[in-house]
């Protein structure tokens, strides 16, 4: 898979976040996180991670998930993981 840019990843994340948070109208940016975003509870978070793994065909390790603080971290991690896959 060719390397995806952070902007592309963020754009592809939008419908996934909307579905996971059950908020069809929502848009997130790099500094969005569970505290400043509606409906982002722990269950939605689990589902979101699962959907991201399915969509980008990556698998996060336990430690990687612990370090995620906001959407920007997730975007960077996805870019890194998809690039590493080659």
Partner 1 sequence: MLDLDVCSADDILMRRNSLRRQLMATEGLRELRIAVLGGSTMDHLVNILELLLLSNGFRPTFHKGEYGRFYEEAVHESHELAAFKPDLVYLHTSCRNVVNAPPLTCSEADLPGFVEAELNRYREIWDSLEQNVGCQVIQNNFEMPANAILGNMDSVASGGHSRYLAMLNLAFAEEAVRRPRLMLQDVHTISGHIGVRNWFDFDRYFSYKILLQPEANLGLARSLNSMIRAIYGKSRKVLVLDLDNTLWGGIIGDDGVDKIQIGRESPQAEAYTAFQEYCLSLRERGILLAVCSKNNEDVAKSGFAHPDSILKLEHFSAFKANWEPKHLNILAIAEELSLGVDSFVFVDDNPAEREIVRSQIPSIAVPEVGNEVTRYAAIIQAGRYFEPASLSKEDLERAALYAQRSQVVAQQAKFANYGEYLDSLEMTAEIDTFKPVYLERISQLTNKTNQFNLTTRRYTLAEMEAAVADPNSIPLYGKLSDKFGDNGLISIVLGRRTGDALHMDLWLMSCRVLKRDMENAMLDAVVERAKARGIRTVVGYFIPTAKNAMVRNFYAGLGFTAAPPDPALPEGSTVWELDLAMYVQQNTHIKVLEFANA
Minimal distance, residue 62 CB to partner 1, in Å: 6
The binder of partner 1 chosen from 42, 67, 84, 86 (CB under 8 A):
42
User: Contacts with partner 1: how many residues (CB under 8 A)?
Assistant: 14
Residues contacting residue 74 through CB under 8 Å, at least 6 positions apart: 13, 52, 68
| Binding to partner 1 in span 15-34, by CB under 8 A | 16, 19-20, 22
Minimal distance, residue 82 CB to partner 1, in Å: 18
Minimal distance, residue 43 CB to partner 1, in Å: 5
| Residue 78 C-alpha from the chain's centroid | 7
Residues forming contacts to partner 1 in the complex (CB under 8 A) are 16, 19-20, 22, 42-43, 46-47, 50-51, 54-55, 62, 65
């Amino acid at each position: 898979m060719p390397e995806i840019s952070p902007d592309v990843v963020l754009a592809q994340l939008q419908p996934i976040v909307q579905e996971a948070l059950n908020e069809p109208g929502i848009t997130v940016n790099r500094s969005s996180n569970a505290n400043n975003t509606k409906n982002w509870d722990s269950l939605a978070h689990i589902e979101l991670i699962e959907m991201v793994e399915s969509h980008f065909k990556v698998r996060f390790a336990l430690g990687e998930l612990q370090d995620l603080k906001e959407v920007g971290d997730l975007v960077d991690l996805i870019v890194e993981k998809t690039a590493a896959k080659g």
